[in-house]
Amino acid sequence: MTYARIPNALSIAGSDPSGGAGIQADLKTFAAQRCYGMAAITALTAQNTCGVSGVHLVPPAFVQQQIAAIFDDIRVDAVKIGMIATADIACAVADALSAYPGVPIVLDPVMIAKGGAPLLHDDAIDAVRTRLVPLATIITPNLPEAARLLGTAVADTRAEMVAHAQALLALGARAVLLKGGHLAANESPDCLVFDGGGHWFESSRLPTTHTHGTGCTLSAALAAQLAHGASLPDAVHTAKTYVTAAIGAAHQLTVGHGHGPTHHFHTLWQD
């Protein structure tokens, strides 16, 4: 009997002990998307659904050692980069991944936690911009993250979203998925821009507080789809469909008193 090859996906991100974001969300997402998940930890956080109360950084050399240990032994079909925290960690990750140019990389430039706590030092913005963005197959910033990367005001129209996405593309990424959840509207459109084309992904804003880790989950799902060999527009469509359904099913969970997590296994945990 022969079996289809199961892809291997690596998350390079921080740990969320409450399980809704970070590597915990990424590993759940990889599993739900039929990938074997792996993780190199950049930071330990003390957080729950109400906020972040502490961050303990992993030494950059050890972050690089984790990544090297995985690549030395295991085929990696896609990488998702999440919380980086510092310029030194950003450079360590870039140094480790630059030896593997053929592996798809999804960069989610995590800067602020859902509760408002900063997760990226100010001096790390330039390192993310100059070292990690050029390595990325696709980056997935929200509107405030895109503005910080570009050093400009936050986009508040679709036209400005397109302009920001194209400016980010010029920094070296092969594609940009600019998430429009911060627009002041009932819709939450995302703008995909790549060399020679672009596409709008339309979705309605869901009336829920169960949004903890949605950015992590989207970028991990996107990495999983690229690991499976999906084309970029198809990968984005599948990832967004998965996240939307995970948010819609989150009411089935009873986790915490703040911004609750999404239901990563909504298609698997059914009566």
Residue (of 122, 56, 61) closest to 86 by Cα position: 122
pLDDT for the residue numbered 158: 87
pLDDT for the residue numbered 184: 67
What whole-number percentage of the chain has pLDDT above 90? 71
Domain boundaries, the chain: 8-252
Q: Among 63-67, 223-227, 240-244, whose mean pLDDT is lowest?
A: 240-244
The whole model's pTM is what? 0.94
* Burial state string for 59-90 with b = 16 or more CB within 10 A and e = fewer than 16: ebeebbebbeebbeeeebbbbbbbbbbbbbbb
What whole-number percentage of the chain has pLDDT above 70? 94
Res 52 pLDDT > 70: yes
Q: Are strands 78-81 and 51-57 parallel, antiparallel or unpaired?
A: unpaired
pLDDT for the residue numbered 110: 85
Residue-wise pLDDT for 64-102, tens only, equals: 999 999 999 999 999 999 999 999 999 999 999 999 999
Q: What three-state secondary structure class fits 260?
A: coil
What is the rounded distance in angstroms from the CA atom of residue 100 to the CA atom of residue 103?
6
What is the rounded distance in angstroms from the CA atom of residue 216 to the CA atom of residue 152?
24
Residue-wise pLDDT for 122-150, tens only, equals: 888 999 999 999 999 999 999 999 999 99
What is the rounded distance in angstroms from the CA atom of residue 48 to the CA atom of residue 250?
16
Average pLDDT, the chain: 91
CA dist list (Å): 128 to 49, 82, 234: 27, 11, 26
Residues with catalytic annotation?
A: 179, 211, 213-216
Residue-wise pLDDT for 155-179, tens only, equals: 888 899 999 999 999 999 999 999 9
Res 111 pLDDT > 90: no
CA dist list (Å): 246 to 115, 201, 207, 208: 20, 17, 14, 12
pLDDT for the residue numbered 114: 61
Q: Which fold has domain 8-252?
A: UDP-N-acetylmuramoyl-L-alanine:D-glutamate ligase (3.40.1190)
What is the rounded distance in angstroms from the CA atom of residue 166 to the CA atom of residue 65?
34
**pLDDT confidence of 115, banded at 50, 70, 90?**
low
pLDDT for the residue numbered 1: 57
